[in-house]
Structure 1
Amino acid sequence: MEEQSKWSKVDTYFGDRLLAADPVLEAVLDANAGAGLPAIDVAPNQGKLLYLLAKMKGASNILEIGTLGGYSTIWLARALPETGRLVSLEFEHKHVVVAEDNLRMAGLADKTEVIEGPALDSLALLEARGYEPFDFIFIDADKPNNPHYLKWALKLARPGAVIVADNVVRDGEVIDPGSADERVQGIRQFMELLSAEPRIDATAIQTVGSKGYDGFVLGIVTA
């Protein structure tokens, strides 16, 4: 598709100028591909955006819902101060093994914890164990559960926390109320909750690039 080719070339153009060569992140993507993980990591420029947002926030306690092979985890963990911590939740055992290997390779094992299991169970575990409130939360897991992830994010966030949710446009299908895709319906329910939720001030941005046509939600917890 001609448009997709142009979007990818523009991503490459910006990446060549604004992202330094990074052998660690390149090795992570190679390891993920070698392990047969789906190629659904954030794009490099999107990873850099997460890093910059966490840096601007001054985040010291980050929660990631959906680890995959740890590519976005590394971007976020690199934004942490020396004493910062990141917790990432992942359902698939194979993904956890790959992610933990990648985090060790990146020198971030001491700052990060990957918890295996259904994310809704793990979120309840975080609450039960009395984890410190999070000041940056990235939601990038199974989309049908996005409404539940938002409710948990608001429970576990401190006032002023930043919440980012990825893949909310679904190639434009988010506008279809009759969609049979449960991922689309999950995003639509997520958006309805956002619109009615007084504790978060949010917007949504459409994006195009090497990952196609999609977008993300960006919000700040107000109370």
Structure 2
Amino acid sequence: MKFKSLILLFSFILFCQNLFAQAEVKKADEVFKIYFDTFVKEDKNALKSLNDYIKPMKGDSFYKVEFPISESINSFLESFPERVVKANKNEIEEFVNAFYANFKNGKLTIKNIKTDSEGTKEIRYSVSFQIPAKISDFEFENPEKIKNEEFKRFLNQMSRDLRKTEKTITTEKNFMMYQIENNVKIFYYNLNPEDLKLELKSFYDKYLMNISK
């Protein structure tokens, strides 16, 4: 009886050790904030933190993130002749930076986190962006015949307008965080983190494009 009692006691101790040894490397909301800073704020330090976090599971530099100009801006620039676009590269760069300055400064709020039976976290969050109330109205009879100086003035004025913060827009989204266990440590990850940025950018671009009409 004593021998059986010792075996039961030893088994119980091992069970408790394994139970308490299982620990989250980072809380789900912490990991989500790193994803947000990486893909929305385009923070290179956050990208490094994300890769350092996921390294035990996926190896070195798992996430390689590029930050291209959005399709909305490309479509906008394509409406003007190549000659003025090439002649105003600095002004266009400033225009692009201004267009997304308020986007990258979006205010994140985590509303709630739901957990299913497999440990998957569904994060409900909101993001608020400050945007201009209006953008200067420019009319071009024929964009193909626009002069270089006229295009330059247009870009500079648009850049000034876009940096204003007169109105707040807010959207709510969901983000899934899946759980992986590795050496009794719990990690969270998302399969398509780029969608986080794409969904928010679509919302943001839509408002700015409507203002400019």
TM norm structure 2: 0.24
> Which structure is higher in helix share?
2
Task: Select the structure with the greater relative contact order (CA < 8 A; seq sep ≥ 6).
Answer: 2
Which of these two proteins has the greater Rg computed from alpha carbons? 2
